[in-house]
Structure formats: C-alpha cells, structure tokens
A and B are shown apart, each in its own frame.
Chain A
Amino acid sequence: MTAVPLLFVALFVLQKLIDARTRTEAQAEEELLLSSPSAIKKMSLGYDGLLADVYWTRAVQYYGTRLGEHRQTYNLLWPLLDITTTLDPKIIPVYHFGAIFLAEPVVGANRPDLALKLVKRGVAANPTVWGLYSDLGFLYYWHFRDYKDAAAAYLAGSETPQGPAWMKIMAARMNQKLGSIDTSLMIWSQIYNSHTDPNIRKLALKTLRGLKAQKDEQTIEGLADQYRQRFGHYPASMAALREAGYVRGVPVDPDGYPYVLGPDGKASLDPHSTVIIPKVPTTPPPPPVN
C-alpha cells in the first residue's frame, strides 16, 4: 500500500525532468492552441463573456510575465487581445491596454497599426465611451504624427455624453499641427491620470519624465543661444551659464542628475541618469494599416 505514494513521488520527479527538457522548446516559440477569434467565439456555446475574461486575464499575465523577464517581443499580445475583443467587444480596459502596449516599441509589441485596428473596433462597439476616442487621438498623434485624424478623434470624444472639456482643447491643439512637447506632456499626463492599470501608469510616468527632460533641455539650449547672442560664443558649461546669471542653482533632471551642457550649445543628460528621452521619428512613418 505504501507503493502508491512512492510511485506518485517518482512520477512527480519524472514529470519535472520532462518539463525541464521541453521548456526550452516552449520558450522558443509561443503558441496559441487556437488562434481564430471567430472559431473560438463559435465554440464558446454562448459563454463568450466568460471566455473573454479568461483571455483578458491571460493577456495581462502574458504581458506581465514577459515584462518581468525583460523580453523584447510580445508576439502573442495581439492575438490574445484580438480574441478577447471578438468574444466581448465591450470590455473597455482591454482597448486602453492595447492602445498603449500594442503600439509601444520597447515594452510592447511595436505594432501601432494593430493598436489602431483594436481601438477602432472598440470605438465602433462602444461609440459613447470618451476614453476610446482619447486612445485613438493618442495613437494618431504620438505614433503616427497624423494631426488631422487626431483632431477628429479628440473632437468626437469631446462630443460624447460625458466627454471632458480638455478633449476640445486637445482637438484645437491638433489642428495647429504642432508636435510640441507641451501637447505631448498634456496627453501623457491625461493617460497617467485617467488609467488605473499599474503598467500603463508606469509607462506614462517614464515617458513624462523623458518629456520633462526634453523640455528642460530645450529651455537650456534656448538660454545657451541667448548667451551666444550676447557673448558671441556658446558657454563652456552649465557653470558658465550660471555665472552669467541665466540659470539659478543646478538644474537637475527628473532622476536628480544635473544636466550637461556641451560646448556646442547642446544639452544632454548625465550618463548615469535613467531618464530616457522618447524617440521621435524623424522620417515620416508608414501610413496606418487598417
């Protein structure tokens, strides 16, 4: 009779060995057993709401796990969110999550086109939710630099029953076709304030810090230009700028490190700083894929 638990222990150990052997292969390619959203919807036998919740939970865990492992690719994110929203198009947090992390290059799937597709689906199914228009506007502005469509999105959002006033203001700013840092700061502040998802807030905070740093650098470079106009040459360093009275104290970046001013009048961050200035594409992005 004692053979039974002993055999179970042996089986347990054996299974662990088998798992260790197959894990490396599983890591190489992630797979969804079923990936056709319409097929899954059909097979759900009417319990699609529940299945949607399951897939959403899976998506969140998938993202969180890979983020924790410092992964570069998030290939399953789109299929999981696609399935979730096909099963239940009315789960709003899914669209917010997708808008940010499907499009995001480093800590996301780097597919702004898919993010756009997802959010458009969300807007079609939930036309009165202003937050989705905000996601749309964000995508057009931040990832596609498409100011016209961004303006339209913010305007539409402002006209929903609970649409906040700031969306009208944002629409106006978009119409001015300016990629200003202030606009970006406004948008990312909005994202930070209106979402509770800790991952989103973390990214927003990081971006905001980068934007602030970018703005500070612009300010410092402007002062350096003024110095050159007065003295005929760029200041040698931040110290020189301070001595000339253009700045007070030691300006530090959001990470607490002092800004560095080069002899060419360009400001930059201290090498130890963890602040990252968001990359702004210099070449026009490819047109959005619908």
Chain B
Amino acid sequence: MSAMPGVVAINTFREAVRDRVLYNLVFFALLMIGAAIIMGQISIGIERLVIVNLGLSAISIFGLVMAIFIGVGLVYKEIEKRTLYSLLAKPIRRWEFLVGKYAGLVLTLVINTAFMTLGLAAALLVVGRPFAHGDGSILIAIYFILLSLALVTAIAIFFSCFSSPMLSTLFTLGIYITGIFAGDIRNFGALTKNFFLKGATSVLYYLVPNFHNFNSIAAAAHGEAIPLALIWQNTLYALMYIALLLVASSAVFSRRNLK
C-alpha cells in the first residue's frame, strides 16, 4: 500500500488547520450549541429535544459548509496556484495525490465533528440531562452525518478536478439538495402516470446519492433506537459511492493538461 496518499493527507490536514476560516466555523457551531441551551429553556418541556436537534443540525450544516467550500478548492487551487507543479515531479501518481487530498479533508471534518460532539455533550451536561439510554442513537446520527459529509466531499473534489470553485459549489450543492429530495421526486414521478416522467425520476432516484438515507437527527433527538441494518447499509452505500467518485475523479485528473 503506497504511503504517498498519507503524506499528502497529513499536509492537507495541516493546511486546513492553519486556515483561519475553519476556526470561525467551529466557533460558530459551538455558539449555536450554546444557543440551544437558551432555546431549550424557552420551549416548555423539551430541553433535551431542542439541544440535540440544534446540536446535530449545527454539526450537519457546518460540516456541509466546510466540506463544500474547502472541497471545491482542493484540486482547483493547486492547479491555479501551480503548487502542483513541483509536487507532481516527485514520485507520486496523480491518483495518489487526489486520494491524499480527499483523505486530508475528511480527517479534518472528523476532528471538527469530534470537537463539536464534545460541545454537544457539554451542553447536555449543563442543562442537567445526564446521559440516558437513548444517547447511543446520537452517536449513530453523528456517524451518519460524517458518512454524508465524506460523500459530499467526494462530490466536491470530483468537480474540483475540472471546474471553477463557484460552479463546483453550485453543482455540489445542487446534487446534495437533489439527493435529499430524491424520494419526493420519485413519488412525484409515480403520481404523474406519465411513463417517461416516471422512468426518468426513477432513474434519477437511483443515480443521485440519496442523502436522505443518512438523516437520523429526528430519531436521535427523540432517543429512538436506530436499526442495526441501516448502519451497515448506509456505510456500504457511502463507501461504494465514494469509491465511484474517486475513481472518476482520478480518471479525469490523470488526463488533464495542467495549465
């Protein structure tokens, strides 16, 4: 197993850590968790529900912002700034570089999510809700959020290989939102009884990454158990789709003439 991606990954992680924008985002996320505590005190009877809802939503949204905004620049920035030139003269293959950048960003996201999870736990402690049995689903919900973030990052890096950050952001966001509504779109198609539309929406449903699979925030907030089957199914789905995207990205990037 080549060590090259690891080298690139650590460097990508180091770059993210030194990027001040990241700290602002994490700070804001923690702020939101603090706000959750206040909000929980206003709403009668549902403190824990509000904290978990707001906390998980904050982790999800900020993770998404990070994944997209850093992801779309991962390869593009290196090409634009030509930092890639001297790097590719080293004994590293283009796909190793790509996988390394990807892994570095995912690592960054994992660490940030871990910090925010600690913040969430702190918020729960502050309001005096000691950890209950249902809290396992909070951790699973966070795991699902991480899976979806890894998937979004893969989409972003794919576009980063050939398109400018602004367009890549639009495409990635567009695919993400479509992935959330995929079920609704298919239902809509089924209702129209139009053969072509039904077929098209069905194809779209299976083509687009179905991000709604990974949303267990409501279940975690209510302390409901999350079925075990869903855990490994989601994991497998995410891994396969990510592999697909990385292979496609490598193919595109390997053939690209750098300016």
Binding site for B on A (CB under 8 A): 42, 45-50, 52-53, 56-57, 60-61, 88, 90-93, 97, 196-198
Contact = CB atoms under 8 A, between A and B. Distances in A.
Contacts of B218: 48-49, 88, 90
Contacts of A97: 44
A56 B46 CA distance: 10
A162 to B, nearest CB: 16
B178 to A, nearest CB: 11
A57 B42 contact: yes
Interface in B49-83: 49-50, 53-54, 57, 60-61
B257 interface: no
Contact of B57 (A50, A56, A88, A197): A50
Contacts of B60: 47
A56 B53 contact: no
B45 A196 contact: yes
B53 A197 contact: no
A259 B44 CA distance: 38
Given A47-B61, A49-B53, A50-B217, 19 more contacts: A45-B177, A46-B212, A47-B217, A48-B218, A49-B57, A50-B54, A53-B50, A56-B43, A57-B39, A57-B50, A60-B43, A88-B218, A90-B218, A90-B222, A91-B46, A91-B49, A92-B45, A196-B44, A198-B44
Nearest to A91: B46
A88 B42 CA distance: 18
B143 interface: no
Interface size of B as a range: 20 to 34
A97 B43 CA distance: 12
Contacts of B222: 90
B215 interface: yes
B15 interface: no
Interface of B: 39, 42-46, 49-50, 53-54, 57, 60-61, 177, 180-181, 184, 211-212, 215, 217-218, 221-222
A209 B212 CA distance: 51
Q: Which 8 A-B pairs have the closest CB atoms?
A: A93-B45, A49-B218, A49-B53, A50-B57, A46-B215, A50-B53, A57-B43, A53-B50
Given A53-B50, A53-B53, A91-B46, A46 B39 contact: no
A47 B57 contact: yes
Contact of B44 (A46, A90, A93): A93
B210 to A, nearest CB: 11
Contacts of A90: 218, 222
A37 to B, nearest CB: 15
Contact of A42 (B39, B44, B181, B211): B181
Contacts of B49: 49, 53, 91
A88 B217 CA distance: 11
Given A45-B177, A49-B218, A53-B53, A93 B212 contact: no
16 contacts: A42-B184, A46-B180, A47-B57, A49-B53, A49-B57, A49-B217, A49-B218, A49-B221, A50-B57, A52-B53, A53-B39, A53-B46, A53-B50, A88-B218, A93-B44, A97-B44
